[in-house]
Every structure is written in structure tokens, then in C-alpha cells.
Amino acid sequence: MYNEKVIEYAKNPRNQGGMDNPDAVGEISNPDCGDATTIFLKVENNIIVDVKFDTFGCAAAVATSSKLTEMVKGKSIDDALEITDEMVADELGGLPLKKMHCSNIGIDALREAIKEYKENN
């Protein structure tokens, strides 16, 4: 069902875990499937200098959240907002159609974190 890259990111997630004193936190859960993701951001001069995530969910949800953190680290807040769930899935070599909703959870949590950051800064 999953390609090797998705399996690799699910088994060995990058940037997983919490963060001390984040500048922003975004939390999203999907009541339909039970997946939940929290994104933690550290931002300096509008650049995401560190990002961590915690995901409770399937392999696709973990893999896409992990890949997303790699994609946004070092980007400006505005550039990070341009990343779509399709872009994340493409970076992982694709997801099964019935698992594409899992790629939304990380993006949605990121957008919530950025919204919080913008409101507070």
C-alpha cells in the first residue's frame, strides 16, 4: 500500500517530539479517522528555524508530518504557507488516494501554528 519512502519516514520520523518554549503551536485532530497532529515552531526574523511534531495516527499521517517539517525548516512563514498537502505527498513519492486526507493533518496543524505566530507577533 505504501511506497518505501513513506515507510521509511513512518518508521524513522524526522523532527518528532515536543519543543521547549515554542513560538507557536498548532494542533489539529480528525474525528473521522482519529489522527491528531501538533506542530511546534521556533521562528526568528520570520524564518522557521526549528520545527517539531507529534502525531498520533497511521503511517501516512506520521510520514507526511515528518516530511513537512523538513520542507518548512529554513523557510519564511509566508513560504511555508504556500506548501500544500499534494506537495508533501509528492515529496514522499505519492500516497494511496484513500490516505491523502492524512497529508492534510500536518498542513492544517502548520497553518494553525503560523496563525498563532502571526496573532502574537
Using one digit for the tens of pLDDT, what is the confidence trace for 92-118? 999 888 877 667 889 999 999 999 999
Which grid coordinates are listed for 109? 496543524
Active site residues per annotation: 33, 102
Residue 17, helix vs strand vs coil: coil
Indicate the CATH number for domain 4-120: 3.90.1010.10
Residue 27, helix vs strand vs coil: strand
Using one digit for the tens of pLDDT, what is the confidence trace for 3-26? 999 999 999 999 999 999 999 999
> Angle at CA 8, nearest 5°, toward 65 and 59?
50
Which grid coordinates are listed for 50? 526549528
Ranges of each domain in the chain: 4-120
pLDDT given at position 1: 83
**Contact status, residue 69 vs residue 45, Cβ threshold 8 Å:** no
Quick check: pTM over 0.85? Answer: yes
Higher pLDDT, 34 or 70: 70
Distance CA(65)–CA(53), nearest Å, equals 7
